[in-house]
Amino acid sequence: MKKIKGFIFDLDGVLTDTAHYHFLAWKRLSEQWGFTFSEHDNERLKGVDRIKSLEIILEINSKQNEFSAKEILRLANQKNEHYQQLIEMITPQDVLEGVSDFLLKSRSAEIRCAVASASKNAMRVLELLNLSNQFDFIADASAIKHPKPHPEIFLTCAQQLKLLPCECVGFEDAQAGIKSIHAAGMYSVGINVYVTSEKPMIELSSTKELNLEMIINAIEMG
């Protein structure tokens, strides 16, 4: 029988909803530079790293060839300054419903927990949510060479938790994240994922549906 020993969580869309702050920061940058950028466009940036997100915005505006690598870095830094100002508003009330209880139950069941977020601001967000001490390992996105859907970040977490991939479950809200979990050889739980290619093994419509017994039973008996 399979034995699940580790849970690895994405941050944005799984533990909290930072997507709105990312949207406001990109919107501010777009206004400064005369780009169009809508909430609908923002959906394409979920789970995507900062530089790739900017490239998508430039592509939407047909400006992908107008900026040098140095200018792209400058724009990305400007967006990050806006984002870092905005996230200071985050409080523990912003932990998504059902998450705190799920983490407590998982930890009481001796399941090791980690965070696999593409965000270089993940540490600060977790501090503001007062969640940092719930995790045995928080991946440092700046040390990860290959973004999701590459499995590197989930494999790094499993290694740091001293677990095999087949002993871990990944939790994600983005399609690239689900692919990353599967490529790592782990079980997947999707939270409101907009599926375009790979379906999560367990699909939930929100974090309110997180249930330890259900997830463990579905995987270990499945």
User: Which member of 10, 41, 152, 167 binds ligand B16 (CB under 6 A)?
Assistant: 10
User: Taking the complex as a whole, how short is the minimal distance between the CB of residue 182 and Mg ion, in angstroms?
Assistant: 16
DSSP three-state, residue 170: strand
CA distance 164 to 149: 19
38 φ/ψ angles, rounded to the nearest 5 degrees:
-115, 170
Q: How far is the CB of 47 from Mg ion (least distance, A)?
A: 4
Binding mask 59-98 for ligand B16 (x = CB under 6 A): ---------------------x--x---------------
Q: Residue 94: in which H helix or E strand, if any?
A: none
Where does this chain touch ligand B16 (CB under 6 A) — which range of 111-119, 185-193, 200-208, 209-217?
Answer: 111-119
Q: Which stretch binds ligand B16 (CB under 6 A): 7-15, 67-75, 88-96, 105-113?
A: 7-15
Q: Does 188 bind ligand B16 (CB under 6 A)?
A: no
Distance in Å, CB of 204 to ligand B16, minimum: 16
Kindly list the distances between the CA atom of residue 78 and the CA atoms of 31, 47, 105, 113, in Å, as whole numbers in the listed order. 12, 19, 40, 33
Residues 170-189, mask of contacts with Mg ion (x by CB under 5 A) = ---xx---------------
Sign, CA torsion 64/60/122/115: negative
User: What separation, in Å, do the N-terminal and C-terminal C-alpha atoms of the chain show?
Assistant: 10
| 158 residue type, one letter | A
C-alpha 47/C-alpha 149 separation (Å) is 9
| 207 contacts ligand B16 (rule: CB under 6 A) | no
Residue 165 is a binding residue for Mg ion (CB under 5 A): no
- Among residues 7, 8, 13, 21, the one that binds ligand B16 under rule CB under 6 A: 13
d(CA 84, CA 8): 24
CB under 5 to 8 A by kind: which of ligand B16, Mg ion, none does 28 bind? none
Q: Catalytic site residues? A: 10, 12
Residues in the chain, how many?
Answer: 222
Q: How many CB atoms lie within 10 A of CB 91?
A: 10
Give residues in contact with Mg ion (CB under 5 A). Answer: 10, 12-13, 47, 173-174
Give residues in contact with ligand B16 (CB under 6 A). Answer: 10-13, 22, 45-50, 53, 80, 83, 117-121, 141, 174
